[in-house]
Structure 1
Amino acid sequence: MKQESPLFLLGLLIRLVLVVAVLPWTQEHWFLPFLTHAPASNSLDLWSDFVASGGASNAFPYGFIYVIAYAPLTVLGNVIAGAAGAKLGLGLTIIALDYAMLRTLQAFGSRALSGKLLLLYWLSPITIYIGYWHGHLDILPTLLLSVSLLLLKQNRLPFSAAFLALAIAAKISMVIAAPLVFAYLWGSPRHHKDTIAYIAQTVLVFLLAFGPSALLPGFQSMALGTPELQKSIALAINYGGGLTLYLLPMVYAGLLLTIWRIRRLSVNGLLCLVGLVFLALYILTPAAPGWALWFTVFLALHTAKSGLRAGMLYLALNISFVALHLLVSTGSRLLIPPYWNLDELSLPAGLVPIGEPTGWIFSLLAVTAVAIAIQMFREQILQENYHLWTRRPFVVGIAGDSGAGKDTLSDLIRDMFGRNASSAISGDDYHSWDRHKPMWRALTHLHPNANDLVRFESDVLALSERQTVRAPHYDHSVGRMTKPHRIEPREFVIVSGLHALYPHTLAQRFDLKIFLDMHEGLRRYFKIRRDVKVRGHAPEKVLRSIEDRYPDSRAYIQPQKQLADIVISLEPVREQDVLDFDLPPEDIALRIRISGRHFDSMRSLARLLISACGLNVIDLVHDDGSFELLIEGTATKGQIGSVVPELTPGMAEHLALNPNWHADQAGLLQLVILSQIDRVRAAAGGRE
């Protein structure tokens, strides 16, 4: 952050100068008198005691969370240096919370965004005006909510729920963000099962934090007696005849409907919608100036990620907001010569020929806010890569010969994304007959006519359209069809089978097509061990079936290789190992050969496998653009997991909370497939 440090120092200097040189009206008449009186209170009802001592009845409409945050330095300063010390203590508290807000925003984005956020938030005129000229204390609930959302992004749900509850307890109006957070959790395969617990934790912490002050008569009168709820319906269209259209509830309902329609929301999408709700709350209600800080933090994040147009709109919003509230809201008085009272500013009469200046400024503010809202919704919701990509399931097709490891690869993929986010459908379940039927004397399993490919295709296409199917089930241990089972559509649909790429319609629908072309000796080794030890076949029968299937393999299985995006082959390092069928699989040294048409997506993988895992990687790029990659060596689970964040940072929200990474070749296959899925994701269009 060395390059940006001058901006930080500039923002800090501006804040320190304002803390020392000006005294906001709100702090002078409301907050400082209340906070400095708190130690002298004879009961927990600080609010009643303050009013009884002659204080303003609306001086501090906040609960104990505000008192705990703002009182220590304010009271300490008052003890040391009287009113000036109290003013300094309160100002330093606001600066500390402001800095924590900056760091929280920077934690949301990449390093590249940190410098932009210094400019967009730390030097934002709205931020400086609200905290240091107008003197409001809204930085506290804004910070608590932002920390809650950051913890949510980091999958630390219990802490996120606690901070959300504290934000609501600090400022009841923050409850407007809670349904958006709950809807995000409910729609996420990773968090769906935790939603009820999250809500319960939020409610419990809220009751513990808000309950004590809510029982006090003075707090009830000063804080709960304010007409905040009535403000939500202040802007309305009267149709006559007793019919009224309330605009803010309508906009809020529309945003909730958006979440329901999208089904699954990204963290960026959630931040966008929370910002839009706060922006609507400010524009569509007679909100206090401090409420603008609620949306400013989210607009700063959006602007940092967007381009020049967003920056111009953000600048116009800041200028129009400050210009408006310098004229219509309370301000400050100078504590240094010439000691001007700048609380009430005004423009000369007749400055504009039509209307009032404040009306024109507010109109500019509203138009700018609407323009930013449209831009945010378009870029963060409609065009964001995450939402474009998750509108329908991502379907992976895995084809290959018998015993090539199709179902194993399917399980490896599901281990990355979790069972809640993935469905698997196997072509073996669509054999036309039980094992003992006489038709198998004429046809092998590799022949398309020996499988119900029409139903197979229909079920896969149904899953790809988010429809539930009842698929048949073939039990290899008994060689019979058993009771059909229900398959729910998920974010990822993994299709494996001998003929997965054979139907033309399926080959076109798959987002990623994989062909497993295992070394023939190794395939025989695995097939014999599987069919004998797992499926109970006689060794002689397995060998005979392998020989019988060669013609159909060449005719119907191998041609699918030409349709694949990527071909994966496992090879033994020492070919003699696979001739010993009693040798345990873990004793066979393997290497992976990958070929395909998209080498650019494999460059990062090759580099990381060499640097992070110490593997031997050889790449060969052909003149036609195709490539081959040979990976030899072993890797631990920890090494596999450590590579993922750098290899595919855009996949973080799609992976399971605790992905089951595997060691050695299984883990390497997971990385290969994950990099290919990320390639398709990045090509889906839209924004990161």
Structure 2
Amino acid sequence: MSANHPVISVTGSSGAGTSTAKVALEHIFRREKVTPAIVEGDCFHRFDRYEFREKSKEFEAVGKRLSHFSDEANLFDKIADLFKDYGEKGVGKARTYIHDDEEAKIYGVEPGRFTDWRDVGEGSDLLFYEGLHGGVEEVLPYADLLLGIVPVVNLEWIQKIHRDTEMRGYSPEAVVENILSRMHDYVHFITPQFSNTDINFQRVPLVDTSNPFIARDVPTPDESVVVIRVRKPEKWGIDFPWLSSMLHDSFMSRRNTIVVPAGKMMFAMELILSPIIHELMEKKRKG
């Protein structure tokens, strides 16, 4: 952890909604005049798209499954190295995973491949990491603020099924098979991170999602609440009575937990995180 070069990490599963946290933090960075070095976690996958397919076949041949959730398919040590090096020097190593043709034009690398490793962070105020494994054990000594985005699992599955069928062209059966094939790794590599996070934002539907595999619609924000748990409120100076007064229809469910309407999730994030980011920047400026 470093006062001079703070590291903020957002962790969450595929389809969990980490993009909401990214937008909220971008708003805060803009107001605070913060220049972040942004790193997406998929650049730390061990295999590119084509290598992953071949490795998956090798695993299947011996009765095993390979998933993007597991340690076998990711470079946890490289994430830790980035956090550590950035905290010490303000610069670290990362690369970019090329998702589509638009990114291919920018980087000159075909979709599904990685760019070369390069230095990132020069001239930045802090490191902002977003990905699947931002809270694994290897990175914990080096993260200044660790955020978890984790809808209840049935909602997460509904969101993934709808996203992958409507936006990525997969069949519902293929998406369900993908969910099942990753379940062991989800339990062992994704969920344990949320015991390590400083603040969790968990969206909970208020409609029946008991069978996520037949749900026709993703529950809307009006049909959901967000449970926000702060592991050490005193460390971050969280004023829950003030938050309750600012967030209409919110309530405290435990001494370190506030429940807010899901439509106010981004507003809640900005209210909670703005003072924290400001304090991190003040410490940085004072050296």
Q: TM-score, normalised by structure 1?
A: 0.34
Q: Secondary structure at the match of 2:194?
A: helix
In the other structure, the counterpart of 1:439 is: 55
Residues 424, 495 of structure 1: 8 Å contact kept: yes
In the other structure, the counterpart of 2:14 is: 402
Cα distance change on mapping 1:404 and 1:450 into 2, 3 Å: same
Q: Does 1:541 find its partner at 2:182? A: no
In the other structure, the counterpart of 1:557 is: 190
Q: Secondary structure at the match of 2:225?
A: strand
Task: Structure 1: state its 5+ residue gaps.
Answer: 1-388, 622-626, 635-663
Q: Does 1:475 find its partner at 2:109? A: no
Cα distance change on mapping 1:428 and 1:588 into 2, 3 Å: farther
In the other structure, the counterpart of 1:463 is: 86
Cα distance change on mapping 1:408 and 1:632 into 2, 3 Å: closer
In the other structure, the counterpart of 1:630 is: 259
In the TM superposition, what is the alpha-carbon distance from 1:488 to its structure 2 partner? 3.3
2: CA distance, partners of 1:458 / 1:400: 20
In the TM superposition, what is the alpha-carbon distance from 1:546 to its structure 2 partner? 1.0
Residues 398, 516 of structure 1: 8 Å contact kept: yes
In the other structure, the counterpart of 1:567 is: 200
In the TM superposition, what is the alpha-carbon distance from 1:553 to its structure 2 partner? 1.4
Tell me which amino acid in the other structure corresponds to 1:670.
E
Tell me which amino acid in the other structure corresponds to 1:393.
H
Q: Does 1:500 find its partner at 2:134? A: yes
Mark the structure with the bigger radius of gyration.
Answer: 1
Q: Does 1:593 find its partner at 2:227? A: yes
Cα distance change on mapping 1:633 and 1:494 into 2, 3 Å: closer
In the TM superposition, what is the alpha-carbon distance from 1:551 to its structure 2 partner? 0.9
Residues 609, 617 of structure 1: 8 Å contact kept: no
1: CA distance, partners of 2:230 / 2:100: 33
In the other structure, the counterpart of 1:424 is: 38
In the TM superposition, what is the alpha-carbon distance from 1:414 to its structure 2 partner? 1.9
Identity among equivalent pairs (%):
18
Tell me which amino acid in the other structure corresponds to 1:665.
M
In the other structure, the counterpart of 2:249 is: 615
With CA pairs under 8 Å and 6+ residues apart, which has the higher RCO, 1 or 2?
2
Q: Secondary structure at the match of 1:472?
A: coil
Residues 396, 510 of structure 1: 8 Å contact kept: yes
In the TM superposition, what is the alpha-carbon distance from 1:540 to its structure 2 partner? 2.0
Q: Secondary structure at the match of 1:475?
A: coil
2:121 to 470, 488, 497: 488
In the TM superposition, what is the alpha-carbon distance from 1:675 to its structure 2 partner? 4.4
Q: Secondary structure at the match of 2:97?
A: strand
In the TM superposition, what is the alpha-carbon distance from 1:452 to its structure 2 partner? 2.5
Tell me which amino acid in the other structure corresponds to 1:492.
L
Residues 457, 503 of structure 1: 8 Å contact kept: no
Cα distance change on mapping 1:500 and 1:666 into 2, 3 Å: same
Cα distance change on mapping 1:608 and 1:446 into 2, 3 Å: same
Cα distance change on mapping 1:447 and 1:533 into 2, 3 Å: same
Cα distance change on mapping 1:461 and 1:539 into 2, 3 Å: farther
Residues 40, 130 of structure 2: 8 Å contact kept: yes
2: CA distance, partners of 1:527 / 1:502: 22
Task: Structure 2: state its 5+ residue gaps.
Answer: 60-65, 102-109
Q: Does 1:415 find its partner at 2:27? A: yes
Equivalenced residues, count:
262
In the TM superposition, what is the alpha-carbon distance from 1:425 to its structure 2 partner? 1.0
1:618-653 alpha-carbon deviations (Å, 9 max, x no partner): 2412xxxxx22222364xxxxxxxxxxxxxxxxxxx
1: CA distance, partners of 2:48 / 2:34: 31
In the TM superposition, what is the alpha-carbon distance from 1:685 to its structure 2 partner? 10
1: CA distance, partners of 2:207 / 2:48: 38
Tell me which amino acid in the other structure corresponds to 1:481.
R
In the other structure, the counterpart of 1:140 is: none
2: CA distance, partners of 1:507 / 1:607: 30
Higher helix share: 1
In the other structure, the counterpart of 1:514 is: 147
Residues 426, 495 of structure 1: 8 Å contact kept: yes
Cα distance change on mapping 1:466 and 1:603 into 2, 3 Å: closer
Cα distance change on mapping 1:526 and 1:670 into 2, 3 Å: farther
Q: Secondary structure at the match of 2:8?
A: strand
2:4 to 389, 392, 396: 392
In the other structure, the counterpart of 1:285 is: none
In the TM superposition, what is the alpha-carbon distance from 1:450 to its structure 2 partner? 0.3
Residues 577, 588 of structure 1: 8 Å contact kept: no
Higher strand share: 2
Cα distance change on mapping 1:460 and 1:567 into 2, 3 Å: same
Cα distance change on mapping 1:446 and 1:425 into 2, 3 Å: same
Cα distance change on mapping 1:680 and 1:470 into 2, 3 Å: closer
In the TM superposition, what is the alpha-carbon distance from 1:482 to its structure 2 partner? 4.3
Cα distance change on mapping 1:408 and 1:536 into 2, 3 Å: farther
